[in-house]
Amino acid sequence: MIYKNKSYNLLLINSAFNTLGMSFFNIVFLVYASRFVHSSIFVSIAEFVILLPFILSVYTGYLADKCSKKIELLKWTSWIQSLLFLGIGSLIIQQGSITTFALIAFIKLISDTLATFKNGLRLPILKRILRNDEISSAFGKLQGINSIMELIGQPLGVSVFTFLGSSAYFVGIINAILYLCSGLVLVKMSEKLVFERLDNQKFNLKSNFGQIKKVFEGENSSYFVVILLMIVFANFIFSGIGPLTDLFMIRFPLLVGQYGVSVLIFNSALSVGMILGSFNTKDKITNLKIEQLLKITFILIVLFSFFIVNISFLAPVVILLMAYVAAKIVPKINSLIVENVSEENLGQIGGGINSLFTFIVPIGSSFFILLANFIGVRWTFDMIALVCLLVLIIIFILKDKSQRSV
């Protein structure tokens, strides 16, 4: 049983503290940005800062693979993040200024980039300490625990920021403590897990793409390119839905009159969906293939785009369902990576897949934000629904042609 695996449990706790700290600060960052005069601009910048580090995942994963003492680096990286948020607590004096916002954004950017580096360190460790038949379940439980931490972190962040005078000082101190704890839990973890140092390994995107193709062939798919395009496009759409929802709720808060509470409702629905999807591994949806899960996701995006602008109070229900389905996809991808990629390349390939699927995110986020500013948020959601319907039709046509050619 994976829960009897001491090393896995320590990594689980480490990840939980990291996720709690990140979710705690993400929502505070958005609420802080929404309080400026030109709130739409500042919220858009905040969303972009949150997304930007993911594009660096392939390179931070490559750097992680070159490191031999991965556990040691996991600890020290957590403590560096702790120091960064102590910087927020000690340096930010002036509230509500552009300089303050820029400083918070810069520290957030560095911390999240370090977080992607830590993900690259964690994958080879998990491969070393888990059996093949434990991998999928282990990633599911890891995802579920992280979703619970997000659910706790969001109301905690709003509460601290609101009831303690909207002070970034307290936010920084609490986050520093969380990251300090995430490093401390690894002190007892065995440091005998030393990995080969790969000084001669080159950063090669072409080689990475070949290994990524091999990963998805592990699911016996005969149309790899179609799956790849589906995932990339899904990320493109998702990158727009988050910022668009935030912008929409600035003008039309959901049920209640406060923007922060409206964001909390949507994020809570997202977290609950992820938790239910992660821990419920005996439903029929779990047995579906990745491409089938993605098709369901596109249908739910169409429904969400309709509900958010017409029947807003039902939109969180659709978000919950989307998260439930997405919770089935992520462990499948992670288990395919660990099972089909060699230990010395796990960080780079895992980061490469993450970068490939999120490379489009800053582009999508910027595109939809700009489009919303030109034609309005309502029309932008209508366009998303129409495009998703067209993509579903194209996918079925491409799949049919692929099957005929086999």
**pLDDT at residue 361, rounded to an integer:** 72
Q: How confident is the model at residue 6 (pLDDT cuts 50, 70, 90)?
A: confident
Nearest Cα neighbor of 30 from 195, 207, 258, 192 is 258
Q: How confident is the model at residue 274 (pLDDT cuts 50, 70, 90)?
A: confident
Nearest-angstrom CA–CA distance, 69 and 92: 35
Ranges in the chain annotated CATH 1.20.1250.20: 1-190, 206-405
Among 1.10.3720.10, 1.20.120.1200, 2.40.50.1020, 1.20.1250.20, name the CATH number for the domain at 206-405: 1.20.1250.20
Give residue-wise pLDDT tens across range 221-246.
555 667 777 878 888 888 788 888 88
In the predicted model, what is the mean pLDDT of residues 285-314? 86
Contacts of 287 (CB under 8 A, 6+ apart): none
Nearest Cα neighbor of 294 from 396, 179, 362 is 396
Rg (CA), the chain: 21
Nearest-angstrom CA–CA distance, 271 and 263: 12
DSSP 261-324: HHHHHHHHHHHHHHHHHHH--SSGGGGS-HHHHHHHHHHHHHHHHHHHHHSGGGHHHHHHHHHH
Helix (H, G, I), strand (E, B) or coil at 254: coil
Using the structure block, give the residue that is written with the tokens 């990286």. Answer: 77
Nearest-angstrom CA–CA distance, 338 and 356: 17
Contacts of 127 (CB under 8 A, 6+ apart): 135, 338, 343, 346
Nearest Cα neighbor of 326 from 271, 282, 368 is 271
**Six-digit token pair at 211?**
């290994």
**pLDDT at residue 206, rounded to an integer:** 57
**pLDDT at residue 137, rounded to an integer:** 75
Q: What is the mean pLDDT of the chain?
A: 77
Nearest-angstrom CA–CA distance, 64 and 114: 11
Nearest-angstrom CA–CA distance, 405 and 382: 35
Nearest-angstrom CA–CA distance, 237 and 234: 5
**Six-digit token pair at 282?**
């005996």
Contacts of 219 (CB under 8 A, 6+ apart): 289, 290, 332, 336
Positive or negative CA dihedral for 37, 28, 235, 306? negative
Contact status, residue 262 vs residue 312, Cβ threshold 8 Å: no
Residue-wise over 96-121: b if at least 16 C-beta within 10 A, else e?
eeeebbebbbebbeebbbbbbbbbbb
**pLDDT at residue 180, rounded to an integer:** 92
In the predicted model, what is the mean pLDDT of residues 181-205? 65
Note if the pTM is more than 0.75: no
Q: How confident is the model at residue 200 (pLDDT cuts 50, 70, 90)?
A: low
Least confident range from 64-73, 290-299, 372-381: namely 64-73
Helix (H, G, I), strand (E, B) or coil at 361: helix
In the predicted model, what is the mean pLDDT of residues 129-149? 79
Angle at 148 between CA 145 and CA 153, to 5 degrees: 125
What percent of the chain shows pLDDT beyond 90? 7
**pLDDT at residue 299, rounded to an integer:** 92
**Six-digit token pair at 85?**
């948020």
Using the structure block, give the residue that is written with the tokens 């029309």. Answer: 379
Nearest Cα neighbor of 252 from 209, 304, 308, 187 is 308
Phi first, then psi, for residue 288 (nearest 5°) are -75, 155
**pLDDT at residue 103, rounded to an integer:** 83
Using the structure block, give the residue that is written with the tokens 């759409």. Answer: 237
Contacts of 205 (CB under 8 A, 6+ apart): 58, 352
Nearest-angstrom CA–CA distance, 137 and 290: 16
CB atoms inside a 10 Å sphere around CB 159: 11
Give residue-wise pLDDT tens across range 343-375.
666 666 666 676 666 667 778 877 888 888 888
Contact status, residue 36 vs residue 143, Cβ threshold 8 Å: no
Contact status, residue 128 vs residue 343, Cβ threshold 8 Å: yes
* Per-residue pLDDT at 115 exceeds 90: no
More confident residue, 117 or 196: 117
* Fold of the CATH domain 1-190: Growth Hormone; Chain: A; (1.20.1250)
